Structure 1
Amino acid sequence: MTHGYAHAKDEHLRRLRRIEGQVRGLQRMVEEDKYCIDILTQVSAATRALQSFSLALLEEHLAGCVVDAAQRGGPDADAKVREASEAIARLVRS
């Protein structure tokens, strides 16, 4: 089974590594007793980066997995749409 993000896997991994670096930077800032607002600014940047990654992945899921299932029809299509709706709801709540 090929996932919708397969064509951009390397780019996704690069983005996640950058986010990982941002989080490590946050740890370092706390260890070094940096100013609270500076840390919060970096938390906001890391959060935006994760949100951006999530939206890109969701878009690929909708364009690939959900569209493919919808074209086939049947219960799998309904399940994929429901699954995507639940994922969107989780993203909105976060």
Structure 2
Amino acid sequence: MHNYNDIQIIIMAGGVGSRFWPMSTPDYPKQFIDVMGVGRSLIQLTVDRLKPICPVENMWIVTNEKYIRIVKEQIPDMPVDNILSEPEARNTAPCIAY
């Protein structure tokens, strides 16, 4: 099996999820909601799927400043330094550039 310990993964979680309204709101968007009905949010499920191939220390979550608290609550083993807050939402390309 390949050793993936040297890869870095970026998880983009800054959107407001407007197409999932009314379930998703600007204060609590879809990435933090259990939309599958399995007791885990979309971001938690994403991290769960990645853990077998990448240590959480090599994952980076880029989100909006106002969602940092939610990320910390939902992914408690994520190093705080690996949660990046984009200054303002400007879609995907600026998120990656940041």
Greater radius of gyration (CA) = 1
- TM-score scaled to structure 1, two decimals? 0.27
Give the structure with the larger helix fraction: 1
